[in-house]
Amino acid sequence: MINKISNQPSLFSIDMTAPVKPTPAESQQKFSDFLKNSLNQVNKAQHESDVATNKLANGQKIDLHEVMIASQKASIQFQATMEVRNKVVEAYQEVMRMQV
């Protein structure tokens, strides 16, 4: 059975007139929490990759493709983290070059 689009709730019924502006302290805390959680996820992925690699090296039962997938996930997350770090450093340097 196909539902008609008109039966779906309208996206325009949401009240978007009341802006939600966090305080600077809330923004900083949210960003620091986000950064901390992101780094923890990268660390967890690296740890899972190491565990899988060690299992394979010790001859325990683990598929090679699982080891490769874990390794690539960790690598991609680390590379993305490094790119974010590079952009933050670049932005900081740009701010420091500004004349007041």
Residue 9 lies in a domain: no
Residue 83 lies in a domain: yes
pLDDT of residue 63: 95
Residue 88 lies in a domain: yes
pLDDT of residue 99: 86
Residue 42 lies in a domain: yes
Whether residue 66 contacts residue 52, with contact meaning beta carbons closer than 8 Å, is answered with: yes
Residue 100 lies in a domain: no
Residue 100: C-alpha distances to residues 51, 58, 90 (Å): 51, 60, 19
pLDDT in tens, 22-81: 777 777 678 889 889 999 999 999 999 999 999 999 999 999 999 999 999 999 999 999
Residue 57 lies in a domain: yes
If one counts the domains in the chain, the total is 1
Instruction: Note down the domain range covering 53.
Output: 38-94
Residue 21 lies in a domain: no
User: Encoding tokens for residue 92?
Assistant: 């900081």
pLDDT of residue 59: 94
Model confidence at 14, pLDDT cuts 50, 70, 90, reads: low
Which is higher by pLDDT, 7 or 73? 73
